[in-house]
Structure 1
Amino acid sequence: MVRVTVWNEYRHERESDVVADLYPDGIHAVLAEILEEAGHEVRTATLDEGPDHGLTEEVLADTDVLTWWGHAAHDEVRDEVVDRVHERVLDGMGLLVLHSGHYSKIFKKLMGTSCSLKWREAAETERLWVVEPSHPIADGLGEYIELDEAEMYGERFDIPAPDTLVFNSWFAGGETFRSGCCYRRGNGKVFYFRPGHETYPVYYDDDVRQVLRNAVEWAAPGDGPTPDFGNADPIEDIDTSDDRTVH
């Protein structure tokens, strides 16, 4: 069982009837349901949930994997909270960044780039090819995932080269896009997953739901040793009398 916090901006669902019809209790409620069905311990948090956006130090300390969906209000996320999440990722917390979360403060901070891309809303077909079929995030999938209606994201996607690229998308309009990108930052694992536009029923697709379940398990912290940093005593018996130092 993984302790998951599902974070959602939760603005579109309250401001658009189209989005509210698809996600009446918010995108976070559907994501939480997907992960609860997999047996994980899930809580939700939203942008307007207090000054910490629901991501207090206590909540993050009790989180193994954080999922992040945002779009219209990236700038409203407080820098102090972004720094807090960043530190937890470096300490080992997993992070799943979904769809338009590519432009969130936390993803840009972790990537160190603009994370910009091309886009188009035309309800076009997207085909996500599984280009790394042996990766745990691809477990249980076929050769590709096909979505009848999707928002197009196109290259160039201004991100560092992924440690592993699991999915590469093709769109009916002709563009391609790196849609499933794995990174390690410090002790933490980061996965960016492209599908999830708010006006299309993407999170009800069985394959997309399988990816999310797989990704949470992949991103969860392991039981490896905690690294030590700083000045270190020798393991072997050596002469430590040399005092040439400026520290």
Structure 2
Amino acid sequence: MTVRVTVWNENVHELNEPEVAERYPDGIHGAIAESLDADGFEVRTATLQEPEHGLTEAVLAETDVLVWWSHCANDEVADDVAERVVDRVNDGMGFVPLHSGKNSKPFKRLMGTTCRIKYRHGGETERLWVADPGHPIADGLDDHFEIPSTEMYGEPFDIPEPDRTVFISWFEGGEVFRSGVCYRRGRGRIFAFRPGHEEYPIFYQDEVQQVIENAVEWAAPNEGASATWGEVDPVESGDE
């Protein structure tokens, strides 16, 4: 079955900063969607500016995996839309927040922590090491790859202990960061991936596209067992 992906982007930098619009003429969401479409996924996009931010109940009901990019407008996402995303993740939708999506309302609510970091602008090289080479999200990669120029994120990263840490990054300034982490919440799978600062053409890089493709495949829901919630009658009658 074809995995249905919605790529969400706040789409603010592209509208307000000419250099970002030149770098991503179809938006960051367009660049990610184009790559996933070429890989055979069924892809749609949504942005902050649309009614209900493009994430209506109908759209989310038809979404297997939500890929989320945000940065400067995290607080502008309506609370009811954020809760709608959280509910869908608990029901089984995959969630792949990219870069500053770690500060998004859905991710912070799913983590239950501040998700704070240290950071630095300046265009440093990032070397991502594969910390879990047997994980499906690392398929097709060497033991490390580099992003030539990016924003630095550094530890401590105020998140719960991940279920799995797939990537660890090193930066020129000496900092390290858990740059690819996995969680389960309810029936849903979450993979948070650090790279993607808008000042650099990171989403055109082959390895980054490979990671996102692998993450979508991994995060897609499976059927699993049925679940019953709330008050129930006993399975056994207790009669002699």
Normalised by the size of structure 2, how large is the TM-score?
0.97
| Structure 1 residues 129-175: Cα deviation after superposition (integer angstroms, max 9, x where no partner) | 00000000000000012111111000111110100000000001100
1:233 deviates by: 3.7
Partner amino acid, structure 1, of 2:172 = A
Specify the alignment match of 2:168 in structure 1.
Answer: 168
State how 1:1-247 maps to structure 2 within 5 Å: 1-50=2-51, 52-236=52-236, 238-239=238-239
1:236 Cα offset (Å) = 4.5
Question: Percent identical across equivalent pairs?
Answer: 62
C-alpha distance in structure 2 between counterparts of 1:59 and 1:164, whole Å: 29
SS of 2:14's equivalent in the other structure is: helix
Task: For 1:126 and 1:18, locate their aligned partners in 2 and report how far apart those are by CA, in whole Å.
Answer: 22
Q: CA deviation at 1:226?
A: 2.1
Deviation at 1:223, TM superposition (A): 1.7
User: For residues 37 and 226 of structure 1, what CA distance do their matches in structure 2 show?
Assistant: 34
Cα distance between partner residues in 1 of 2:223 and 2:40 = 20
Partners of 1:205 and 1:76 lie apart in 2 by: 29
Query: Which structure has the larger Rg?
Result: 1
Task: Please state how far the C-alpha of 1:237 moved relative to its aligned partner.
Answer: 5.3
| Shift of residue 69, structure 1, vs aligned partner | 0.6
* Distance in 2 separating the partners of 1:156 and 1:182: 17
Following the alignment from structure 1 to structure 2, what is the Cα–Cα distance between the partners of residues 223 and 89?
14
Q: Which runs of 5 or more residues in structure 1 are unaligned?
A: 241-247
Gaps of 5+ in 2: none
**3-state SS of paired residue (2:54):** coil
CA distance in 2, matches of 1:18, 1:121: 16
Secondary structure, in 3 states, of the residue corresponding to 2:81?
helix
Whole-angstrom CA distance in 2 between matches of 1:235 and 1:140: 47
Amino acid at match of 1:138: A
Shift of 1:228: 1.2
